[in-house]
Amino acid sequence: MQIREVPFLRLGGLFEADDLAAAQDVMRTAMDPSTGFFPLPEETRFQDALARHEGAARAVVVNSCGTALDCCMAALEVGPGDEVVTTPLTFVCTAGCAVARGAKVVFADVDPVTLNLDPARVRERMTERTKAVIGVHYTGLACDIDAFDALAEETRVPVLYDAAHAVGAKYRGRPVGGRGLASCYSFQSNKNMTCLGEGGAVTTDDEDFAERVRRLKTFGYVYGGPSLRVASIGFNYRMTKPQYAVGLTQLAKVDRVIARRQRAMARLGDLLADVDELILPAGHGPEHGSHLYVVRLDTDQVAFDTGAFTAHLKDRYRVGTGKHYPAVWSWEAFRKLGYTAEGCPHAAKACAQVASLPVFAQTTDEDCAYVAWAVKQTIADLRKNA
C-alpha cells in the first residue's frame, strides 16, 4: 500500500456554511452602533436546545468544561478537608477542579474492560470526608450509571459526570445529561462539536443546583424580581455571542457527526479484529458518543512499548495518534502533592498502553484501511527489530 498521511486532527467536528453564516449574522448585527453584543438571546436558545438534546431539565452554558467542573465544586461548597473521588484516566481538570478548591482527590481504579471508573472501587475509597464523586464517560462510553445511582442513594454523596467526551451519548436508551446530580460538557475544538474553540456546559435536573451554577457564572447576579441583586460571589464564565450562535448550528449537526464517527470506528474495529497485539475498545455502538477510538497495545505480548509503537506509526507510516491519557498522578503538579498509582493497578496499566487512532467525522473507508494496514505493518516492523 502506498504511504500517505492520516493526521490526528485538531478539529473534532465539522465547520460548514451554516456555522459561518451564524457567526457572520452576529457580527453583522453587532456592527449597528445601537445594538452591540448584548443582550444574548442566543444563550437562552442554545441552553434550551442543549438541555433537550442531552435529556436534562436545565443547561447552564459556560466557557469550558473545566469551568463547568469548577462551578459544580463551588456549588457543592467543596473545600479544605473534603475529598472527591474520581478516575486517574482522564484529563487533568477532572481532578484539578477539586484540588483547586483545597480538597483532596482520591483516585479509584477503572474497570479493566471499559476503562470507566468502577463504582465498586469508588465505594472502597469513600470516607466520611467524601463530598462528591466524579465519573467520566471515557471516550464517549457511558459509565455504569445505574450502579452510581445506587451508590449515591446508599451514601447520600452526589455523583457528577465529566461528559466532555459524551455529547450525544446514551445509557440504556436515555441521554446521559440528566443523570446524577449534574453532567459537565466540553465544546473545545477537538470535541465532536465546538463553539469556536472553547465552551462548556452543566446539565442537571436539579433546578436549585442549576441556579447556583448560573449565579456563579454571572457575578452572582439573581435575575428577576423588582431589582437586580448580587446574592453570592461569582465570576464572568459566559461564552460570547458568536460562540452561542455557532453552538446552535453545531448542536444541530452533532448527531450526524457522531454517526459518521461510529461508522468509521466500526470499520476500523473490523479491520483490526485479527490483531492479537491490540486490545480494541469496548462498547462501540449506537449509544456511544464516539469521541475517541482508543486502542491498547497488549504489552504482555510484545517487547516494545506504546511510545515506540506510536512513534514508528508516525515516522514510518505518517499516521498521527493521540494519548488519552497519561495518568493524572503522573503530571508534575500532582506528583508534587504526593499523588501516586496506589490502589489503581488497572488504570496504571491502561495509561501505559493507550493510543488514540485518528477517527473523525471526515474519516473515509480508505483512511480506515490505510490506518489498519499501517498499524499491522508497524507491529510487524517492531517485532522484527525487537
359-374 tens-digit pLDDT: 999 999 999 999 999 9
**Burial of 147 (C-beta count, 10 Å sphere; 0-12/13-18/19+):** middle
Tell me the CATH architecture of domain 255-385: Alpha-Beta Complex (3.90)
CB–CB of 139/165 below 8 Å? Answer: yes
Burial class of residue 64, CB neighbours in 10 A (0-12, 13-18, 19+): buried
Cβ neighbours of residue 127 closer than 8 Å, sequence gap 6 or more:
83, 106
Which residues are known catalytic residues? 191
Q: Return the percentage of the chain with pLDDT > 90, whole number.
A: 92
- 42-57 pLDDT, tens digit each: 999 999 999 999 999 9
Query: What tens digit of pLDDT does each residue of 123-178 get?
Result: 999 999 999 999 999 999 999 999 999 999 999 999 999 999 999 999 999 999 99
Q: What share of the chain is helix, strand, coil (3-state, %, to 5)?
A: 40, 15, 40
For residue 114, which of 298, 292, 350, 282 has the smallest C-alpha distance? 282
Residues shown for the chain: 386
CATH topology of domain 17-249: Aspartate Aminotransferase; domain 2 (3.40.640)
The C-alpha cell 477539586 sits at 98
Other beta carbons within 10 angstroms of residue 114's beta carbon come to 17
Q: Where in the chain are all domains bearing CATH 3.40.640.10?
A: 17-249
Rounded to whole angstroms, the Cα distance separating 57 from 310 reads 43
pLDDT at 187 > cutoff 80: yes
Could you give the 3-state DSSP secondary structure of residue 318? coil
Q: What is the pTM of this model?
A: 0.96
Q: At what angle do helices 207-217 and 65-75 cross, to 10 degrees?
A: 120
Residue range 272-286, pLDDT digits in tens: 999 999 999 999 999
| Angle CA 369–372–377, to nearest 5 | 120
According to CATH, where is 3.90.1150.10 located in the chain? 255-385
